[in-house]
Structure 1
């Protein structure tokens, strides 16, 4: 295990260790899983070393959970609901049947917290994680080799089925765990 990768020297040591066949687990500050590649390249890791050293990349953030003491139903504005649908449609096949049915509905009732003594009027109580997991493959290795941009990495990762943190959060919205506003507050840069 290597502590946080903060500089080129630590990044180089981490990559060299991974290339020797050892399982290496570390952390690095990046806005998304695809951004990890760009961050390591910016630290000076050689592309040909990086492409063969990563088995899994995960990014996470914490979002607030709806307070269970003051939950209430509401209907989102049609334009907001349309944006949620557009964001989740590319991963529709990964949703449960009930999540798919809710997603396909033209109008829905979702849950929000109205605020109470238990949550100090916030409408939220506690936190949970939203994640995105990326398994590097051949196409991503080509992007590393050419030192591609973050947007290119993100596009390929989504094409290969990566569920983004935003999508993971919106699935939690469908399940009544958090709100659209909270997901977008945390995941939109």
Structure 2
């Protein structure tokens, strides 16, 4: 595999990992469908993710996850268990798509780039939901859920069909997160 192909597969994986930060199972379902139709080559040990059984299982999990986020008290609980799951899903999507590399390098990239991207996005999305719950009493949470699901869908599709653009969007997301926290740190604390 040439360097360009490795970069494209890495961009694909990072885009799907970011998507996993918004919805854990949706990017796995997208990867499964793309693998089933042989649009994306899956690494040898991960070909099972492109099976019909995996598609059906991931479709059910995706539906339940999306529906669960619309239940007012359950959405915050779901965020608690989704953070470690998103990290695992982010790692999996890179391991499943990056081929012809030393396994040590692949797993290191998967854990750092995939798991790190997914957990950073999920952590910030969970903080947004907590803020929404605190400021609106949970009334705005369905809107937050819809935006997160839409973003996960767009990121998953973009990652599969135009991975370079998906990677650029991930960079922009991280830049936005960086700017937000930088702005928070500059705010003067209220004086008594």
TM-score, reference length from structure 2 = 0.29
Q: Which structure: greater strand fraction?
A: 1
TM-score, reference length from structure 1 = 0.29
Higher-Rg member (1/2): 1
